[in-house]
Amino acid sequence: MTGTLAEGMPVRSSSSHRARNLLGSGLTELFLLARARGAIDLAVGTPSCPQTPGAMIAAAAAALHAGRNQYEDPWGEADLRRQIALSLNTPADPATEITVTVGATEALCVALLATVDPGDEVIVLEPFYENFLGAITLAGGLPRFVPLTPPDWRLDSRALTAAFGPRTRAIVLNTPSNPTGRTLSFEELNEIAEACERWGVTVISDEVYAGLVFDGRVHLSIADIPRMRPYGIVVGSLSKSLAISGWRLGFLRAGPRRTQLLRRVHEVTTNGAAAPLQYGASQAGVLRGDWWDPASELVRCRDRMQRTLRAMGLQCSTPDGGCFLLAGISAVTGAGAPEYVRQLLDERAVLVVPGTGFFADPARGRAYIRVAFNRAPDVLDAADRNLLA
Ligand SMILES: Cc1ncc(COP(=O)(O)O)c(C=O)c1O
């Protein structure tokens, strides 16, 4: 970035290298245009399916009225930590291994800041959730990409092994994945575990879609592989599975010693998440209840969206989990994804995301668009009407 800040200071001498290196999403203009035209937004992951549980809203409002308006325990309200721990496949001690954060977004930054020194390499599987790059940049890390193999986005063992070296400090995973919907298999996680053990590398495993896995699958966490425990940090979120992305509640799971370190960074970044919302989440009983099953509702949205995209002639493999589909567009257009996205907005009043932002070299993403399917039935009806007209 060159030029001057509004205050008249030259940008280079009055801003940090890490801030200058952050890339904007580049999609703001499209979002504003889509909003101005009242287009159907299938771009961002903001959920309208499932619906926010009414019991949580009532519990949060009650917490506000009951005076829960001051600082909470910075590591997270005790009952919420206990319930998060109980919701995991393998036991975690809520006192020493779970920390509530301001969304997974803060959790990711904390995990990277607590692990990576400037100049360290951080392995990222590609295609990737675009915020990984920003968080790595903030920590001063250098991303090193391991391309997954389309169309099923499998991990190539040789490419994985070749990426590890003496400068590798961490690997960032995302299972189920944004944008592909793939979950990493036990074999793939084991391969990663082996390489991490050999090189002493930390795994930062973004599992924000753990509650949204389909077709009878059980979410497989890096924390479920016992030998990975010393190397693993799990990043979780309540945003999508409870439809409370605006509440900004996420969490970190790690062994006790690493948790002490993570908590030191968390104390500096936010010193805790919003107290009444933590009470709302814990008091409603949604996390500990068996009756909350967003995946069974969401899988119907996935199937509907997949039918629609296939009827348009797009190619998409079936997501194992999450709330996104990555669809191949080569069969329907000679244009690249940015042009095709613009065409869908202009001609069909539907906004999706070009695949270019999920790849280190945008050219590799030009053949894909990402479509969010966590939408209420009326939104999916309207999308069908516009896209299949
Ligand atoms: C893979 C992934 N990680 C993290 C986040 C951010 O989650 P949160 O809302 O908890 O900050 C998202 C949101 O879309 C995501 O897709």
pLDDT of residue 22: 87
* Residue type for position 353: V
Measured by CA distance, the residue closest to atom 13 of ligand 1 is: 45
Best residue among 183, 237, 245, 251 to mutate for probing ligand 1, ranked by most atoms within 8 Å of CB: 237
Q: Which residues line ligand 1 (CB under 6 A)?
A: 45, 103-105, 129, 174, 178, 206, 208, 237, 239, 245, 250
Q: How far is the CA of 273 from the centre of ligand 1 (A)?
A: 16
Best residue among 136, 180, 183, 239 to mutate for probing ligand 1, ranked by most atoms within 8 Å of CB: 239
**How confident is the chain (389 residues) per 10-residue block, as mean pLDDT?**
57 82 78 90 89 95 97 97 94 97 98 98 97 96 97 96 98 98 96 95 98 95 90 96 95 97 98 97 84 90 97 96 97 96 96 96 96 96 95
Residue 163 in contact with residue 144, Cβ under 8 Å?
A: yes
Best residue among 208, 244, 324, 370 to mutate for probing ligand 1, ranked by most atoms within 8 Å of CB: 208
3-class secondary structure per residue, 327-377: EECCCCCCCCHHHHHHHHHHHHCEECEEHHHHCCCHHHHCCEEEEECCCCH
Phi, psi of 305 (to 5 degrees): -65, -40
Give the alpha-carbon dihedral of 337, 343, 344, 349, to 10 degrees: 140
pLDDT of residue 109: 98
Q: How far is the CA of 238 from the centre of ligand 1 (A)?
A: 9
pLDDT of residue 8: 62
CA distance 9 to 17: 15
pLDDT tens digits, residue range 27-45? 778 888 888 999 999 998 8
pLDDT of residue 255: 96
pLDDT of residue 3: 58
Q: How far is the CA of 106 from the centre of ligand 1 (A)?
A: 10
CA distance 260 to 267: 11
Predicted structure pTM score: 0.95
pLDDT tens digits, residue range 95-132? 999 999 999 999 999 999 999 999 999 999 999 999 99
- Atom in ligand 1 nearest the alpha carbon of residue 106: 11
Q: Which domains does the chain have, with CATH numbers?
A: 11-51+292-388 (3.90.1150.10), 54-283 (3.40.640.10)
